[in-house]
Structure 1
Amino acid sequence: MATREKPRKWIDAEIEALDPDVDHARIWQLGNAYRTSPMILNMAVCHGFLRLVGPGSGARTLVRGGTGKVVLHQQRRIEGTMRAVWTWYLGEGAHDPSVRESVEQVNRQHDAWAGKYPDAILDVRQYTYTICVLAAEPHRVMQRLGLPGFSAKEQRAAHRHWSQIAGLFRIGSDQGVPVPADFDGMLAFLADFERNDYSTAPESNVVAEAMLQQFCDRWFPRPLHGLGRALVLSLATPELLAVHGLKGPRPLVARTLRRTLRTLITVQVRWAPDPVEVAPIRAAFAEPRPETPMGGRLKAALSGMRGQRPAPDGSTSTDV
């Protein structure tokens, strides 16, 4: 455990002293890598997956007819994702060799799957949406909890940090992912995408149930899986729940959970001593966690997916 050599409250002061156009990677790290925990980041990644599979096409690649890692090996899937995300959080931006190598691994994976599942390749808007979720979804979640979200400086830094990392991704043979001009543009793009590009797909429901099971299995004993599920879904908007066919917690439960999260974050930011080290994410996800048997909700989602076939108009019909 590190010996405290910093003031009791130092993170916001350091952010205030930095330039978002130059120090954007450090500002992102300060705002998002210290005052968090393995469970909270796992919950955020689970919520992010629900966002990213909203269009449906990306979910088909992940599910692969029920044989995908997200279905059969949820813990391994999330462990790899957490390691990649944490590298992007802690790296010094797009010029950092560790960030470049991590993104290139993702590019190679996407290239490999594109050859096997050409119909499920993400289009440009989906890539842009992914970058905007990484940059701006933490801000939106905090606002949904009733908190201010990112400061103006943090918003500018988030946009700069993720815009530069976006340049490392490939879409087919094209280098770089286009992003909006500023943070407000990212928020507007998210809203437009979720209004126009989300579509109900059985594979999306499978991914959602798989990620919810992963989170609950990792952090809660089985009798409390309902609490873990409610915790994640209390952050979701009604539109997000609807596109995945998920039932959110009862309104009173959702409000109570959001209020509890808001209180915990407020205490940490305003009064608790700031951590002097980043959260132990790598250590928490370094050792593989044993997989657990497939839960009832995930089995039902898979059964629903396998019992549906695409209709000529793009909707789904059920084989009887």
Structure 2
Amino acid sequence: MATSKRNVKWIRAEIERLDPETDSEQIVRLTSCQLLPKSLLVVHLFYTVGFIRFAGPPVSAESVDRNGTGMLYDHGIRRADETMFHLFSWVDDGVSNPTSMKSLDYVRNWHSGVARDWPMPMHTFQHSAAVFTLIYDRLLRHIAGSPGLNENERRAQLIHWRSVSERLGVTDIPHTWQEMEQLLETYEHGTEFAYSPPGQRLANALVDQFATRWFPKPLRWFGRWLALAFSEEHVIDTLGIPRPPTAFSYTVRRLARVAVFAKRHLLPDPREVLRLSDIITAHKDSALVNPSIPASGTTRSER
């Protein structure tokens, strides 16, 4: 498939040909390959924007912040790369793959270990499932102002992240795209999603780590504004983080719209389907200790 369709727009046609009920893993991988460039900076931005949302529920923020002593503050880049590796490997290999199942069990056990001292209610994990399911579509529509995912892609994303969440022990996950959207909207405009000092500290740390990693000191303000410009306003407003200047956000989002249009309609699709986890492991500045088994040596005190 990859070699016979070089330098043409083949991904969209392939997604339309596939059945999301039986081919969800392949559709999810193709969607990611079509939208994401082979750039650790971009996927780290993607990670930062997504994980800022998890600072919204105070109980979730407290479990990661741990009174300002969490691993995020001392080993933030390593934590980001390890988390991205896990998430992307589930996309690369599919949830049913033995390697993915081992990774999912590792993450579930990690969460269980944290919960002994910092328990999180089920609604925080249901919120996470909604964020992961909807994030591509929301970034396209709410940030870039572009058309969102098509019906095949939406159904595949729903099936994929439901499977991931169920493997992680999450219950009562919505069965339809509309229900997943309703869950996210209701949750992020409800009482469980609110300002807290740990949440604000955590979100600022995520943004600052992105800026520090990719921009020299004189331009770290740019990296910070960039991450916030890609974040939805109600999220950063809830966390009490000042928005970037309106003109900056408008410009960044318009440029994102142009980039999405070019990636989807003008530039040739990749000759081969990209392994997203390779973006992390192959980068010269990757923080993974051992790319084949990330975080295997992490002790509970580090968590």
Both structures adopt the same fold (TM-score exceeding 0.5): yes
Q: What secondary structure is seen at the aligned counterpart in 2 of 1:100? A: helix
Q: What secondary structure is seen at the aligned counterpart in 2 of 1:132? A: helix
The question of 1:253 aligning with 2:255 is answered no
Quote the residue 1:24 is aligned against: 24
| Separation (CA, whole Å) in 1 of partners of 2:18 and 2:287 | 39
1:110-129 pair list within 5 angstroms: 110-117=111-118, 121-129=119-127
Deviation at 1:187, TM superposition (A): 0.7
Structure 1 contact 166–178 (Cα < 8 Å) conserved: no
Structure 1 contact 24–157 (Cα < 8 Å) conserved: yes
1:256-267 pair list within 5 angstroms: 256-267=251-262
Quote the residue 2:87 is aligned against: 85
Deviation at 1:284, TM superposition (A): 4.4
Q: What secondary structure is seen at the aligned counterpart in 2 of 1:13? A: helix
| Separation (CA, whole Å) in 1 of partners of 2:287 and 2:163 | 33
Segments ≥4 residues shifted beyond 4 Å: 284-290
Quote the residue 1:227 is aligned against: 222
Deviation at 1:265, TM superposition (A): 1.2
Quote the residue 1:15 is aligned against: 15
Deviation at 1:237, TM superposition (A): 2.5
Quote the residue 1:40 is aligned against: 42
Deviation at 1:5, TM superposition (A): 4.5
Quote the residue 2:267 is aligned against: 272
Deviation at 1:287, TM superposition (A): 5.2
Unaligned runs of 5+ in 2: 289-303
Q: Based on CA coordinates, which of the two structures has the bigger radius of gyration?
A: 1
Q: CA RMSD in A?
A: 1.8
Is 4-13 or 76-85 further displaced after alignment? 4-13
Deviation at 1:150, TM superposition (A): 0.5
Query: TM-score, structure 1 length as denominator?
Result: 0.82
Q: What secondary structure is seen at the aligned counterpart in 2 of 1:149? A: coil
Q: What secondary structure is seen at the aligned counterpart in 1 of 2:242? A: coil
| Separation (CA, whole Å) in 1 of partners of 2:127 and 2:24 | 20
The one-letter amino acid paired with 1:180 is P
Structure 1 contact 56–201 (Cα < 8 Å) conserved: yes
Is 235-244 or 69-78 further displaced after alignment? 235-244
Structure 2 contact 34–264 (Cα < 8 Å) conserved: no
| Separation (CA, whole Å) in 1 of partners of 2:212 and 2:22 | 41
Structure with the bigger RCO (C-alpha within 8 Å, sep 6+) is 2
